[in-house]
Amino acid sequence: MALFTRENTISSNKVFEGKIVNLRVDQLQGPEGKTFSREVVEHNGGVVIACQPQPGTVILIRQYRYTIDMELLELPAGRLEAGEEPLLAAQRELLEETGYEAQSWKPLTSMYSAPGFCNELLHLFRAQNIVFQGKALDEDEETEVIIVPVQQAWQYVLNGQVRDAKTIAGIALLLGPNSLS
Residue 20: DSSP 8-state = S
State the Cα–Cα distance between residues 172 and 174, nearest whole angstrom. Answer: 5
The number of angstroms, rounded, from the C-alpha of 134 to the middle of its chain's C-alpha atoms is: 23
pLDDT tens string, the chain, 181 residues long: the values are 456 677 789 999 999 999 999 999 999 988 788 898 999 999 999 999 999 999 999 999 999 999 999 999 999 999 999 999 999 999 999 999 999 999 999 999 999 999 999 999 999 999 999 999 987 766 777 889 999 999 999 999 999 999 999 999 999 999 986 554 4
Q: How far is CA 86 from CA 60, 107, 118, 166, in A?
A: 20, 9, 18, 15
Which is it for strands 21-29 and 70-74: parallel, antiparallel or unpaired? unpaired
SS3 96: helix
- Whole-number pLDDT of residue 178: 58
In DSSP notation, 30-80 reads -TTS-EEEEEEEEE--EEEEEEESSTTEEEEEEEEEGGGTEEEEE--EEEP
Phi first, then psi, for residue 102 (nearest 5°) are -105, 145
State the Cα–Cα distance between residues 150 and 128, nearest whole angstrom. Answer: 14
Identify whether 139 is a catalytic site residue.
yes
Residue tagged active-site, from 32, 84, 101, 139:
139
Q: How far is CA 162 from CA 22, 23, 62, 71, in A?
A: 28, 28, 10, 10
